[in-house]
Copies of this chain bind each other. A is one copy, B any other.
Amino acid sequence: MAGVTGRGGYHHGDLRQAMIDAAEAVLAEKGVGGFTLRECARRAGVSPAAPAHHFGNMVGLLTAVATLGFDELSSSMETAVAEAARTGGDRLAAIAEAYLAVAMARPGRFRVVFGRLGLKRGDEDLMRAAVRAFGILVRETKLALGRQETADLLTRPPSSFSGDDDLGTILFVWSVTHGFSTMLIDGQLGPFEAQPGGRERLVKLYSQQLVHLLVTAVRQPRAAIGA
């Protein structure tokens, strides 16, 4: 009955990873509300005080989970973009759909990443992961705006903005995807999920209409903007 991972002795072997795995499992089963450090320690077959050595405190554990969340978000978006580039699909649309897919696949973790539970601010790994994810969004939005060449993207980091105009568009893209994703997994759209068609219908509505509206808005003639 010892640890889920490791060798089962006094020393666990890889408690850090075991705790993260346990945290993911608890988040998946009971959600962020039912998350407790003691439960995670229990699943890892370890005393409640053991995790302190690896994570400092509960916030440290959640920060590690959030870092993984950002990484998966980045990976999924990159994969989706690559696929779109291959098949000739819309890169921005691919990102928007990947974002929702990640949120739906692991809602508990997603809420840790973007939720109100305080994370370790200033954590290096977390910051790096967050910057990477946001950088993808920036890069693709700028590409859609015609600010960069595709070849350039693969070698150079997104770096700076072209000013508030681009930032506004970037935040617009992020707002739509993030807004719909959070509303869906937080149950705000529950009444619509209860209707015939269920969640599938909403997801289809998202990819067929919301994303289309989004892409069209981003690509509209710039002259139309800026009252």
Residues of A within 8 A of B (CB): 31-33, 111, 114-118, 164-165, 167-169, 171-172, 174-180, 182-183, 186, 188-189, 192, 201-202, 205-206, 208-210, 212-214, 216-218, 220, 224-227
A164 to B207, CA, bound (A): 13
A218 to B178, CA, bound (A): 19
Chain B contacts of A167 at CB under 8 A? 192, 205
Q: Are B33 and A116 in contact (CB under 8 A)?
A: yes
Shortest CB distance A215–B (Å): 10
* Beyond A171-B183, A178-B183, A212-B227, 9 extra complex contacts between A and B, CB < 8 Å: A116-B116, A164-B201, A169-B209, A171-B202, A172-B213, A174-B183, A182-B182, A208-B227, A217-B220
Known: A175-B176, A210-B175, A213-B225. A186 touches B220 (CB 8 A): no
Q: Are A165 and B216 in contact (CB under 8 A)?
A: no
Partner of A33, one of B118, B208, B220: B118
A61 to B224, CA, bound (A): 47
**Which 6 residue pairs of A and B lie closest in terms of their CB atoms, listed nearest first?**
A179-B179, A168-B209, A175-B179, A217-B217, A175-B180, A178-B179
